[in-house]
């Protein structure tokens, strides 16, 4: 039985992993948040690995406040870059495999076709830059790694777009939602299953992988689907991103190409609306 460290243990994705991992009898999952393990402290990370005999680390810990990161670049870098580097260093020393969760924000959104793993990266803001720095650190330090880039994550847990829309839909008769930012929603349970697939089939196919649900949507499309499927009556008006200014610039197009992960791990990826229906049933 392998010991699997899951950082960011109280966050959205780690909670989803916990929901899926209960059927996994081959591994012992150890969930930590920053009070249990501060990944930004190198000696603390090393001590934890030494004491706990970690074979796999799933890094769900991240600074994800995209707009706030513009005002707090050092905090974003400390978690997303330095913390990730510390985990990679400990994994190398203890011969552990690192599964790291990254983001579509490493891209500038200027491409018109889905981004594959070899596409040029050019983050538009601090958050994306800090996540890319974390990716780079892993690649430089550790061979045994899987970097999984995902997008528009939602679930029944934590704070996310779906839950925000459901709350606002109950409070208001109408909403305006951006229609010119294009990507793909990703159901946390689906991503958790993919992560556990990588864990159970870990071979030497290390590197970067893209995962989101299938299909394409705007934030407007996503919000309309949330209300239509849930039966919430709320009128949604499409607006341009320029009419909804934010501190951090978002990529206008960040659809991910999943060809590689489907080929290497033989997985079927659900269509985003089907997964949204499954999530809302809960």
Per-domain residue ranges of the chain: 2-160+186-213+255-270
pLDDT of residue 198: 94
Residue 211's pLDDT band (boundaries 50, 70, 90)?
A: very high
User: Which residue matches tokens 């089907």?
Assistant: 274
pLDDT of residue 39: 98
Here the tokens at position 49 are 């690995």
pLDDT of residue 201: 85
CA distances from 47 to 2, 7, 83, 134, 249 (A): 18, 15, 14, 21, 38
Q: Which residues are catalytic?
A: 127
pLDDT of residue 204: 84
Q: Does pLDDT of 203 surpass 80?
A: no
Q: Does pLDDT of 126 surpass 80?
A: yes
CA distances from 251 to 17, 106, 118, 255 (A): 27, 9, 17, 10
pLDDT of residue 128: 98
Q: Does pLDDT of 276 surpass 90?
A: yes
pLDDT of residue 235: 97
Q: What percentage of the chain has pLDDT greater than the value 90?
A: 95
pTM, whole model, 2 decimals?
0.96
CA-nearest of 267, 260, 116 to 194 is 267
Please give the CATH number for the structural domain made up of 2-160+186-213+255-270. 3.40.50.720
Average pLDDT, integer, range 183-195: 98
Q: What is the pLDDT of residues 249-268, one digit of tens each?
A: 999 999 999 999 999 999 99
Q: Average pLDDT, whole number, for the chain?
A: 96
User: Which residue matches tokens 């925000």?
Assistant: 164
User: Which residue matches tokens 């393990």?
Assistant: 37
Residue 63's pLDDT band (boundaries 50, 70, 90)?
A: very high
């Amino acid at each position: 039985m392998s010991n699997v460290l899951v950082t960011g243990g109280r966050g959205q994705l780690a909670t989803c992993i916990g929901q899926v991992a209960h059927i996994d009898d081959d591994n012992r999952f150890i969930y930590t948040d920053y009070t249990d393990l501060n990944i930004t402290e190198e000696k603390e990370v090393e001590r934890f690995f030494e004491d706990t005999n970690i074979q796999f680390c799933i890094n769900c810990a991240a600074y994800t406040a995209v707009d706030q990161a513009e005002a707090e670049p050092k905090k974003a870098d400390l978690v997303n870059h330095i913390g990730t580097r510390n985990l990679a260093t400990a994994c190398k020393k203890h011969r552990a495999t690192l599964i790291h969760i990254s983001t579509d924000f490493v891209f500038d959104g200027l491409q018109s076709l889905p981004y594959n793993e070899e596409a040029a990266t050019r983050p538009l803001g601090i958050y994306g830059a800090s996540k890319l720095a974390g990716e780079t650190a892993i690649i430089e330090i550790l061979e045994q790694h899987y970097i999984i880039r995902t997008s528009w994550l939602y679930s029944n847990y934590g704070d996310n777009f779906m839950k925000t829309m459901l709350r606002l839909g109950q409070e208001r008769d109408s909403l305006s939602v951006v229609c010119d930012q294009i990507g793909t929603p990703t159901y946390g349970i689906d991503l958790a299953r993919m992560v556990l697939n990588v864990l159970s089939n870990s071979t030497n196919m290390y590197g970067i992988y893209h995962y989101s649900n299938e299909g394409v949507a705007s934030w407007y499309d996503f919000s309309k689907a949330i209300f239509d499927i849930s039966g919430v009556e709320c009128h949604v008006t499409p607006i341009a991103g320029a009419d909804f200014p934010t501190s951090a610039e978002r990529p206008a197009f960040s659809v991910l190409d999943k060809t590689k992960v489907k080929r290497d791990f033989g997985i079927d990826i659900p269509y985003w609306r089907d997964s949204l229906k499954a999530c809302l049933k809960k």
